[in-house]
Amino acid sequence: MEETERMENGDEIDLIDLLAVLLRRKLLIIGITLAGMLGVLLAAALSLILPPEKSFLPNEYTPKATMLINDSSSSGGGLSSMLASSGLGSLASLAGVNVPSGSTYSALAVYLAGSDSFLDTVVDQFDLINRYKITKSPRAESRKALKKNLSAGFDDEAGVFSISFTDIEPEFAKNVVNFCVSYMEKRFKEMGIDKNQLQKENLEKNIQNTFDEIRRLENDGQRLDQSASRGVYSANGSSLVLEATRIKREITAQEAVYTQLKTQYELLKVQMASETPVFQVLGYAEVPDQKSGPSRGMLCIVVTFAAFFFSVFLAFVLNAVENIKKDPEAMAKLTGGKK
């Protein structure tokens, strides 16, 4: 009653009053806190015992792959300078050599990782619609489910693009990540972003085509020589001579082209050795041997503290209800009675 009188007089409740309430309700506070702690410990232990596919709190694994994205200008300008200084610029068109305008590609990589075409490809590759048991709006919901577990980001300082995927099966998660890496690598190649690589492929094709043409002309020359050795001169001797002369001229021209293309190819290899590719895989994902979540220890701590604070709050609520019951005026207001 003394505490109630002080409250009626507008006096502030001091720490002793609060402590008194907690001491009176100590069994309630201890009981609720212990119940919360034991309950969450039991739940955590049960989640470990149950199979991952049936557990309400299974272990999750998050493998990650890293790729280097070169945001500087794509290579090619230095190569053009080298060709010009060597006097081989006249055949640049044969090799497909040009000077790119320069661009940045990190934002492109992040965009591709979130595009619908990329997400649908991953969903279809691993049959995620059935894996996640999606029945309503399968395409849209499967994209949402994939985005929830798939993470892609770019580190501006290191210039490293990373992809990770979270799942209860570590082997499956690794396969998803590595497939994503292969997809990104293929897309960058298809878009022709790495000019050096394209130039290298064009040169290799042109070199091989020129070499094949030289071999064909040499074979034609050998057949003409064999015809001449058999005495085939009286009928069309002049034609054989002209044809042989033409073949020799073409062989000489093709050999000059071959030499220049080969020189360009070697210059390009030097250029590529001194520059960083636009897209380069630093490390593929591996099967993780350590879970990424959930943190059951942290969960136990959070639930225990939550139970403690709830019990303290409940203690004050019960004390307030008890004080109201002891106050006739307050009871009269609540019951609609008169003073």
pLDDT, tens digit, for every residue of 162-181?
999 999 999 999 999 999 99
Q: How many helices (H) and strands (E) does the chain have?
A: 14, 4
pLDDT band at 37 (very low <50, low <70, confident <90, very high): very high
Q: Which amino acid is at 79?
A: L
Phi, psi of 154 (to 5 degrees): -125, 130
pLDDT band at 76 (very low <50, low <70, confident <90, very high): very low
Q: With 0.75 as the threshold, say if the pTM is over it.
A: no
pLDDT band at 91 (very low <50, low <70, confident <90, very high): very low
Give one word for 287, left, alpha or beta, with left for phi > 0 and alpha for psi -120 to 50.
Answer: beta
pLDDT at 74 over 80: no
* CA–CA–CA angle 214, 219, 222 (5° rounding): 125
pLDDT of 182: 92
Distances (CA, A) of 11 to 3, 4, 17: 10, 10, 12
